[in-house]
Amino acid sequence: IYYFIKMKLKFFNSIIILFYLFNVINCLDNGLALLPPMGWNTWCTDDYCGLFDYCNQNEVMQIADAMVESGMNQLGWQYVNLDDCWGGPRDAQGNLTADIKRFPSGSLKELVDYVHSKGLKFGVYLCAGNYTCRYHRPGSWGYFDQDAATLAAWGVDFVKMDWCSHPDLPPQEVYSMFRDSLNKTGRPILFSICEWGKDNPWEWGMETGNMWRVHEDHLPLWESDQGTAAIIQSMVGLSPYAAPGGWNDP
């Protein structure tokens, strides 16, 4: 009887280990976002919520300085993020570049290093489709591994992936592909899913990213389908899906 029980326990432990390994392979394995991430983003900063979505290197450096000088970093504000305002054309090898009119080096590495020197973290915007949502800058479809490797080489800490001009595939499948690309880099990069809540991302977001948008873009209005009241209402009932490592993003 003892031998039989011992063998059953070994079998049971083997199943547990296999189950654990399966879930590690099929999740975002970065250990980040134990608390909801907080910071600054270029969206809605210089215009009417991304109408032009302008940003430049000096502005972002000044924001990083201000976050430290004001003490916001001591209160949990860690991230300095670029939205759909920074991309230039891909280079001859297909690598991402930064718009040289806004970021003179043509790379974000210099800016990332500056933000890191302030003890802060740096984030960027990508898009899952062929083009980004503003001005058709290069999207990441077909370049997932290459773009993830570029972000890791620059030292990026956060990436938001939008859903414009997306491939004809379910969002969960597409975002899981990029999750796997991030995991391959070996660098912990917080992954923000932004498919506007169209496919109930709260149901699959925890195994795919660190945060997931639950609604369309917010506009600075109250009574609107994209206004503050609508977004608050869209969060009702979603708290059970959030936990350390993955959060609903209004």
Q: What would the two tokens of residue 86 be?
A: 């920074």
147, 217, 225, 249: which one is catalytic?
A: 217
Instruction: Tell me how far apart the alpha carbons of residues 221 and 230 are, in angstroms, rounded to a whole number.
Output: 10
Largest CA distance in the chain: 76
162, 168, 180, 249: which one is catalytic?
A: 162
Instruction: Tell me how far apart the alpha carbons of residues 233 and 229 are, in angstroms, rounded to a whole number.
Output: 6
Catalytic residue list contains 157: no
Distance of CA 9 to the CA centre of its chain: 41
Cβ neighbours around 186 below 10 Å, total: 8
Instruction: Tell me how far apart the alpha carbons of residues 200 and 208 are, in angstroms, rounded to a whole number.
Output: 13
Catalytic residue list contains 162: yes
Which residues are catalytic, by number?
162, 217
